[in-house]
Amino acid sequence: MREQPVLKENFSNAEFRQWLIEEHIWEAEQQMEAMRINDIAYPEGLGVPYEQFMERVRREGLDR
């Protein structure tokens, strides 16, 4: 979950449940994004360092 302090006392029960659902969805999206990036095949013999290749993949949105 995101690093932010949240006190349940500041929300109604319905608001807190909605916030919790949104946090779980956000966390799942982050995990899915990480898996998508990890699934992209690095072409051997490309002549570009892996980190540079992955930075371009992320920058250009090719991991989507």
In tens, the pLDDT along 32-48 reads 777 666 666 666 666 77
> pTM score, two decimals?
0.46
21 is a domain residue: yes
**What pLDDT score was predicted for residue 10?**
76
- Alpha-carbon distance values, 3 to 6, 12, 19, 27 (Å): 9, 21, 14, 12
CA angle 39–41–42, rounded 5-degree value? 130
**What pLDDT score was predicted for residue 45?**
64
Structural domains in the chain (count) = 1
Decide if pLDDT at 64 tops 60: no
2 is a domain residue: no
3 is a domain residue: no
How is 24-47 classified by DSSP, letter by letter? HHHHHHHHHHHHHHHHSPPPTT-S
Please, which residues have CB within 8 angstroms of residue 58's CB and are 6 or more apart in sequence? 37
Q: Please state, for a pLDDT cut of 90, what percent of the chain lies above it.
A: 0
46 is a domain residue: yes
40 is a domain residue: yes
